[in-house]
Amino acid sequence: FPSLHFLLAGLAKRFGFTLDTVPLRPGESWVRDEDFIARWQDDVGLALITFVTSTASHRCDVERLAAHGRALGSIVGVDVTQGIGVAPFSVAATPVDFVVSTSLKWLCGSSGAGILQVAPHLLATCRPELRG
Protein backbone atom coordinates (compact mmCIF):
# COMPACT_ATOMS: atom_id res chain seq x y z
CA PHE A 1 0.00 0.00 0.00
CA PRO A 2 1.45 3.42 -0.87
CA SER A 3 1.32 4.67 2.71
CA LEU A 4 3.78 1.93 3.73
CA HIS A 5 6.30 3.32 1.26
CA PHE A 6 5.84 6.86 2.63
CA LEU A 7 6.33 5.60 6.19
CA LEU A 8 9.42 3.57 5.33
CA ALA A 9 10.93 6.38 3.24
CA GLY A 10 10.68 8.68 6.26
CA LEU A 11 12.17 6.06 8.57
CA ALA A 12 15.02 5.42 6.09
CA LYS A 13 16.09 9.05 6.35
CA ARG A 14 15.79 8.99 10.12
CA PHE A 15 17.61 5.71 10.77
CA GLY A 16 19.95 5.62 7.78
CA PHE A 17 18.88 2.48 5.95
CA THR A 18 18.33 1.96 2.23
CA LEU A 19 14.74 1.44 1.13
CA ASP A 20 14.61 -0.85 -1.89
CA THR A 21 11.18 -1.18 -3.48
CA VAL A 22 10.65 -3.98 -6.00
CA PRO A 23 9.26 -2.42 -9.19
CA LEU A 24 6.16 -3.60 -10.98
CA ARG A 25 6.49 -5.25 -14.36
CA PRO A 26 5.13 -3.04 -17.16
CA GLY A 27 1.34 -3.24 -17.31
CA GLU A 28 0.97 -5.16 -14.06
CA SER A 29 -0.67 -4.10 -10.79
CA TRP A 30 1.24 -6.20 -8.27
CA VAL A 31 4.76 -7.44 -7.69
CA ARG A 32 5.14 -11.11 -8.53
CA ASP A 33 6.59 -13.33 -5.81
CA GLU A 34 9.43 -14.40 -8.13
CA ASP A 35 10.39 -10.74 -8.72
CA PHE A 36 10.42 -10.13 -4.98
CA ILE A 37 12.64 -13.19 -4.45
CA ALA A 38 14.99 -12.25 -7.30
CA ARG A 39 15.56 -8.81 -5.75
CA TRP A 40 15.81 -10.14 -2.17
CA GLN A 41 19.48 -10.84 -1.49
CA ASP A 42 21.44 -11.50 1.70
CA ASP A 43 21.95 -7.77 2.31
CA VAL A 44 18.24 -7.33 3.15
CA GLY A 45 17.93 -6.87 6.90
CA LEU A 46 14.16 -6.52 6.96
CA ALA A 47 11.52 -7.30 4.34
CA LEU A 48 7.93 -6.12 4.63
CA ILE A 49 5.53 -8.22 2.58
CA THR A 50 2.01 -7.13 1.64
CA PHE A 51 -0.30 -10.12 2.14
CA VAL A 52 -2.96 -8.84 -0.29
CA THR A 53 -2.30 -6.00 -2.73
CA SER A 54 -4.49 -2.92 -2.58
CA THR A 55 -4.30 -2.53 -6.36
CA ALA A 56 -5.43 -5.97 -7.54
CA SER A 57 -6.40 -8.07 -4.48
CA HIS A 58 -3.52 -10.42 -5.31
CA ARG A 59 -2.41 -12.67 -2.44
CA CYS A 60 1.27 -13.39 -2.17
CA ASP A 61 2.66 -16.75 -1.11
CA VAL A 62 3.68 -15.69 2.40
CA GLU A 63 5.14 -19.09 3.29
CA ARG A 64 7.39 -19.12 0.20
CA LEU A 65 8.58 -15.55 0.74
CA ALA A 66 9.14 -16.10 4.46
CA ALA A 67 11.17 -19.26 3.78
CA HIS A 68 13.36 -17.29 1.36
CA GLY A 69 13.85 -14.54 3.95
CA ARG A 70 14.71 -16.98 6.73
CA ALA A 71 17.30 -18.66 4.49
CA LEU A 72 18.97 -15.26 3.99
CA GLY A 73 18.75 -14.21 7.65
CA SER A 74 16.26 -11.37 7.03
CA ILE A 75 13.64 -10.23 9.51
CA VAL A 76 10.32 -10.82 7.74
CA GLY A 77 7.15 -8.85 8.43
CA VAL A 78 3.73 -9.02 6.82
CA ASP A 79 1.18 -6.24 6.44
CA VAL A 80 -2.21 -7.97 6.43
CA THR A 81 -4.36 -4.81 6.23
CA GLN A 82 -5.84 -5.42 2.79
CA GLY A 83 -6.93 -9.00 3.48
CA ILE A 84 -7.42 -9.55 7.20
CA GLY A 85 -11.09 -10.18 7.93
CA VAL A 86 -11.92 -11.56 4.45
CA ALA A 87 -8.98 -13.81 3.56
CA PRO A 88 -7.84 -16.61 5.87
CA PHE A 89 -4.66 -15.73 7.76
CA SER A 90 -3.24 -17.35 10.88
CA VAL A 91 -0.57 -15.54 12.87
CA ALA A 92 0.27 -18.79 14.67
CA ALA A 93 0.67 -20.74 11.43
CA THR A 94 2.58 -18.07 9.50
CA PRO A 95 6.36 -18.27 9.90
CA VAL A 96 7.18 -14.55 10.05
CA ASP A 97 8.78 -12.28 12.63
CA PHE A 98 5.97 -9.76 12.86
CA VAL A 99 2.49 -9.01 11.51
CA VAL A 100 0.99 -5.53 11.27
CA SER A 101 -2.41 -4.16 10.31
CA THR A 102 -4.84 -1.38 10.91
CA SER A 103 -8.23 -1.99 12.45
CA LEU A 104 -9.84 -0.33 9.44
CA LYS A 105 -10.79 -1.97 6.16
CA TRP A 106 -12.40 -5.40 6.57
CA LEU A 107 -12.14 -5.48 10.37
CA CYS A 108 -14.52 -2.49 10.44
CA GLY A 109 -12.65 -0.89 13.32
CA SER A 110 -12.17 2.77 14.10
CA SER A 111 -9.33 4.90 12.81
CA GLY A 112 -6.24 5.28 14.94
CA ALA A 113 -6.03 1.69 16.13
CA GLY A 114 -3.37 -0.68 14.89
CA ILE A 115 -2.50 -4.32 15.29
CA LEU A 116 1.01 -5.65 15.89
CA GLN A 117 2.10 -9.20 16.66
CA VAL A 118 5.82 -9.78 17.21
CA ALA A 119 7.52 -13.16 17.56
CA PRO A 120 8.94 -13.65 21.07
CA HIS A 121 12.55 -13.99 19.84
CA LEU A 122 12.32 -10.58 18.15
CA LEU A 123 10.28 -8.89 20.87
CA ALA A 124 13.03 -9.68 23.38
CA THR A 125 15.43 -7.51 21.34
CA CYS A 126 13.11 -4.50 20.99
CA ARG A 127 13.42 -1.37 23.09
CA PRO A 128 11.00 1.56 23.04
CA GLU A 129 12.35 4.63 21.32
CA LEU A 130 10.35 6.94 23.57
CA ARG A 131 9.64 6.33 27.22
CA GLY A 132 7.31 8.26 29.40
Can you give the CATH number for the domain in which 54 is found?
Answer: 3.40.640.10
Give me the sign of the Cα torsion angle 93, 96, 102, 106. Answer: negative
Domain count, the chain: 1
Which residue range forms the structural domain that includes residue 97? 2-123
How does pLDDT run along the chain (132 residues), one tens digit per residue?
Answer: 678 889 899 999 999 999 999 999 999 999 999 999 999 999 999 999 999 998 889 999 999 999 999 999 999 999 999 998 889 999 889 889 999 998 888 888 888 888 999 999 999 999 888 877
Do the domain assignments include residue 92? Answer: yes
Integer Cα distance of 51 and 59 in angstroms? 6
Do the domain assignments include residue 119? Answer: yes
Which pTM was predicted?
0.88
